[in-house]
Structure 1
């Protein structure tokens, strides 16, 4: 794992330690032209004291803002600030509970419910409290959506998150990720077989069921689409994403499993084999219920 430069990062955050500086970054983002003339930036911020405005602008220049002959524009680091501002990353997050996610608990069969709190979206059983899904999600992504819209958005976010991790791209820092198939992982879930991806840069770990890890594979997506399953259907609606029951251990050394992907009562399933590296090693269509 890479050792981060904490001092440089703290210095960069310190440069944003005034609302005027964040407003300057936002003004550059909102402008329809780039670079933005000095006078336009100042007018957008609305600060009459030119000395104070120049002081704050100078603190941002060369770090979050680039000065050109024609004005100012955001650097890529400034865009990251804008993303954090509009995602609501540093403000109090809303909370929501009791969301019907249209799924059943693989342990007891009771309905699954969703909740959002402290920046995390979770799906758990309404009766036995078994937690089946958890992923961070931006506060503003919740505040502006009703329950149905929120579920659609979280599903898309979860699929993109796992697709990036499975492809070796860290969803958090952009670093390289490696993956492994673990047969006897200790979890609080109704499964012990996981695909685990680890970032070699920031150390982030993504843990997913075998079913969820293959959900975005093109053969799996094509099979589900062929049988009328929406391409953005959430993982908690598939039994084969929630437990080890649809799995067959083909080998323990090296680890190798097969998961049977089922869709809408079809008379066939897609058997997906996953190897020790956590990636799809093969697929075949079999009669539903076949061993």
Structure 2
């Protein structure tokens, strides 16, 4: 397996794994390490309107919702939150949430880290693109899986029993709150939307988790066998990788998929009456776009430094993108 991975020091960035960002995180957890302070944040969240010009919540309302017996002690906890999570609006006679607190509460509401949701493997109306078998959706530990239990999915050259679920086709982080809102077929389309959004952010150089810079590179398998490669174990021999320098978030994708983000490819398909947009409420179109992505041809045209082309064709016309070693498009040929 050849690769153009960045060094560990570059990947970690200037902060390192225990630098200023780590200290800031510890300080933030320390501020929230008291039940009353979390109750205060929730009390302000429930009482204010984010869309209103004046959404400050009075101390008396906070005290009523928190049901704290000691007003002096309650003010102390508010003072500890003031500045990082809460902003006191003296002219409005109350307190309002700062953006970090809003994001924290939205995460809690979404169910991340709170609900241990689980979805048993459930059949959906989509055949495996590689073996034609029935595919399933399942969910555990915050990840929504689309899989084929009859073949290796995206990992035909690896031990089938080593994956849970076996035969993974896609795996995307998915907040548990969304499980109750979609049918299994709709979950397939919804997970595509979520996965594309996160991948697009990484492809554009911004971590979808923490907004830090992302390093990107290609791995490729020179003697690849797509039916079950002993060298890389993967369905596709060329993989683009994206890794955050700060939080270490990592994502990988076939360049077949990345081509769908480029405006020239979007325009190319639009000229042929095909929209590359995917909506969670249009399962059939999500399925067509996935098939369209699989039809793209990937070629490693140079290996030092690596250059990768992706070619899309429709009605005897074609468009070709060339990616450099940093997974940036450096040429478009149509």
TM-score, length of structure 2 as denominator length: 0.73
Are residues 1:231 and 2:277 paired? yes
CA contact 1:212–1:235 (8 Å) conserved in 2: no
Looking at structure 1, the residues matched to 35 and 208 of structure 2 have their Cα atoms a distance apart, in angstroms, of 29
Aligned to 1:85: 108
Deviates more, 1:195-204 or 1:166-175: 195-204
Contact 2:122/2:184, CA 8 A, preserved across alignment: no
Within 5 Å, which residues of 2 pair with 1:267-286? Answer: 267-285=316-334
Tell me the residue number matched to 1:289: none
Cα distance in 1 between the residues matched to 2:33 and 2:127: 45
CA–CA separation in structure 2 for the residues paired with 1:187 and 1:27: 52
Q: What is the 5 A alignment of 1:57-76? A: 57-69=78-90, 70-76=93-99
Partner SS state of residue 270, structure 1: strand
How do 1:85-164 residues align onto structure 2 when only pairs under 5 Å count? Answer: 85-96=108-119, 97-100=121-124, 102-106=126-130, 108-128=131-151, 129-164=166-201
Cα distance in 1 for residues equivalent to 2:320 and 2:192: 23
Q: Deviations over 1:96-134 (max 9, x none)?
A: 22242635233x343433221110112222312432322
Unaligned runs of 5+ in 2: 1-11, 152-165, 223-230, 279-284
- 1:255 to 2:306 alignment: yes
Query: Could you say what secondary structure the match of 2:252 adopts?
Result: strand
In 1, are the aligned partners of 2:260 and 2:276 still within 8 Å (CA)? Answer: no
Distance of 2:332 and 2:24 partners within structure 1: 48
Structure 1: 5+ residue stretches without partners = 286-291
CA contact (8 A) 1:105 1:111 kept: no
Offset of 1:14 from its aligned partner? Answer: 3.4
Could you say if the C-alpha distance between residues 140 and 236 of structure 1 is closer, same or farther in structure 2, counting changes exceeding 3 Å?
A: farther
Deviations 1:2-27 (A, max 9, x none): 23444542342233234442232123
Gap change, CA 1:77 and 1:229, over 3 Å in 2:
closer
1:220 equivalent in alignment to 2:265: yes
User: Any conservation in 2 of the 1:211–1:242 contact (CA below 8 Å)?
Assistant: yes
CA contact (8 A) 1:191 1:242 kept: no
Name the SS of the counterpart of 1:215 in structure 2: helix
Contact 1:94/1:143 (8 A) holds in 2: no
- Distance verdict in 2 for CA 1:272–1:144, change over 3 Å: same
1:12 aligns with 2:23: no
Deviates more, 1:108-117 or 1:210-219: 108-117
**Hey, what's the Cα distance between the residues in 2 that align with 1:64 and 1:179?**
33
Please say if residues 115 and 121 of structure 1, whose CA atoms lie closer than 8 Å, have aligned partners that are also in contact: yes
The 1:119/1:212 distance shift into structure 2, 3 A limit, reads: same
1:138-189 deviation per Cα after TM superposition (whole angstroms, max 9, x unaligned): 1112233322432332222111111111111111111111222222297543
- Where does residue 288 of structure 1 map in the other structure? none
